[in-house]
Amino acid sequence: MKRGTSKRKFTMLIGAGGTSGHINPALTLANYTKEQNPEAEIIFCGLKNSLEAEIVARAGYKLEYIRAVVLPSRGSRKKMRWMRENVSGIRQCMKYIRRYKPDIVVSTGGFVGSPLVFAGLLLRKPVLLHEQNALPGRSNRFFGPSCKAVCISFAESVRYFKRKTRTVLTGNPVSADFFKLTKEEARCKLNIDEDVFHVVLMGGSLGARSLNSAVVDLVESGKWASMIEEYPNLFLTISTGMQRGKEICKQLSEVPNITASEYLYDGLSWMASADLFVGRAGAMTCAELAALGVPSILVPYPYAADDHQTFNARTLTDIGAALMCRDQDFSAEYMYSQILILINNRAGLAAMGKQARTRALPNATAKIHDTLLQVIRDGGN
């Protein structure tokens, strides 16, 4: 019998959505749970016409639609809409809980999971949370003390939860494939030559304006043309984002040695194929880079709650596994200078990759799954 395998059939409702950073860890946990417990029934709750609607469907899981909006900032006039939408979402989630009678409710954080967590607590269902970031999000900090367990990814996160919160240090649930796929295998799959110096730039599922603009400026200034003239094997792959990257994607697709896409569905292969990764410092991104051992330039999203992406980035920059650039400083000139430095310092890049791998936590998913089973066995007590 596999580690943690359960013969008991159980039902789990998962709240996840908004960004791939919340969706992917939920899917990784769901897939592992099905492997260990083939009879388990897993249902997702998320927004209609959203990223989770597409990604969850691709993964083969059922998704029940709910309503939810992000908590507005102080002084915003959108608070009434927030209350109205989320109250409606809570009622929808209560309906699904009564229908499916889950043994456990799980949320990977974010505003999409909040109505399900609230409904689960109201109906006295055991709730498990997972927190990806070094600095926990508002939703998980608020609900944590009322939940049966909060799985955290960094030891430093404990201090942000109230003392009575049951925290379990697990790490982020990175797919096992991130620990297995080699650069050579990824490049063979993507048809990328061995001698290519490959820069992969991903601004997240929604895109990153500063990253997109820097690449466009790099092209329009003529710097990219001069770079590939000097280094013909330099190639760049960019994910421009599904919300704001369509026109930029079309524009960049016509540029030599650049591959542009609104969203890279096989993100694992693209990241694994990289000599250098450039992107935001989401918690899952940092965990995946560590698992792959890929050197990176991290550009924390400046409007992330409590600047938590900077905290994430420091887990890699502090050990020499990555460089960090403030969003307002990320430009075509910065890209130009850093790529030229790194393309001529392969030994330094290799050292960065080795340091990144020291932060990998390959058993994170199993630990979360074991905690989940323990909560079910305890009956929520």
Average the pLDDT over each of 2-16, 44-58, 252-266, 361-375 and give the range with the smallest value: 2-16
Adjacency order of strands within the sheet including 296-298: 258-261, 234-239, 197-202, 276-279, 296-298, 322-324
Measured CA distances, 243 to 156, 215, 303 (Å): 33, 17, 17
Is there a single domain that holds both residue 311 and residue 167?
no
Average the pLDDT over each of 78-82, 96-100, 302-306, 359-363 and give the range with the smallest value: 78-82
Residue 314 sits in which domain range?
177-357
Adjacency order of strands within the sheet including 149-152: 62-65, 41-46, 11-15, 104-107, 127-131, 149-152, 167-169
Is there a single domain that holds both residue 43 and residue 124?
yes
Number of domains, the chain = 2
How far is it, in rounded angstroms, from Cα 176 to Cα 123?
34
Confidence at 4, pLDDT banded by 50, 70, 90? very low
- Residue 208's region, left for phi above 0, alpha for psi from -120 to 50, else beta, is beta
Residue 1, domain member (yes or no): no
Q: How far does CA 185 lie from the centroid of its chain?
A: 23
How far is it, in rounded angstroms, from Cα 323 to Cα 309?
13
Average the pLDDT over each of 16-25, 68-77, 125-134, 139-148 and give the range with the smallest value: 68-77
Is there a single domain that holds both residue 153 and residue 215?
no
Query: Would you say 66 and 115 are in contact if contact means Cβ atoms under 8 Å apart?
Result: yes
The mean pLDDT of the chain is: 91
Is there a single domain that holds both residue 267 and residue 120?
no
Is there a single domain that holds both residue 24 and residue 124?
yes
Query: Would you say 369 and 4 are in contact if contact means Cβ atoms under 8 Å apart?
Result: yes
Is there a single domain that holds both residue 132 and residue 228?
no
Residue 311, domain member (yes or no): yes
Residue 4, domain member (yes or no): no
Count Cα neighbours of 43 within 13 Å in the Cβ-side half-sphere.
18
Is there a single domain that holds both residue 126 and residue 226?
no
How far is it, in rounded angstroms, from Cα 196 to Cα 214?
22
Residue 164, domain member (yes or no): yes
Nearest to 265 by CA among 303, 304, 300, 237: 237
Is there a single domain that holds both residue 32 and residue 137?
yes
Residue 255, domain member (yes or no): yes
Q: Which ranges of the chain would DSSP assign to H, the alpha helix?
A: 20-36, 51-59, 79-100, 114-122, 138-143, 177-180, 183-190, 209-220, 223-230, 246-252, 267-272, 283-292, 308-317, 332-343, 346-357, 364-377
Q: Cβ neighbours of residue 191 under 8 Å, at least 6 residues apart?
A: none
pLDDT at residue 290 greater than cutoff 60 = yes
Confidence at 1, pLDDT banded by 50, 70, 90? very low
Query: Would you say 45 and 14 are in contact if contact means Cβ atoms under 8 Å apart?
Result: yes
Is there a single domain that holds both residue 237 and residue 162?
no
Confidence at 166, pLDDT banded by 50, 70, 90? very high
Q: Cβ neighbours of residue 80 under 8 Å, at least 6 residues apart?
A: none
Q: Which residue has the higher pLDDT, 8 or 123?
A: 123
Is there a single domain that holds both residue 205 and residue 346?
yes
State the CATH number of the domain containing residue 348: 3.40.50.2000
| Overall size of the chain counted in residues | 381
Write the single-letter amino acid at 162: K
Instruction: Give the global pTM.
Output: 0.80
Is there a single domain that holds both residue 130 and residue 101?
yes
How far is it, in rounded angstroms, from Cα 154 to Cα 300?
18
Residue 6, domain member (yes or no): no
Is there a single domain that holds both residue 129 and residue 246?
no
Q: Quote the pLDDT of residue 2.
A: 44
Structure tokens at 325: 């650039």
Residue 41, domain member (yes or no): yes
Residue 296, domain member (yes or no): yes
Q: Which residue has the higher pLDDT, 157 or 71?
A: 157
Query: Would you say 291 and 262 are in contact if contact means Cβ atoms under 8 Å apart?
Result: no
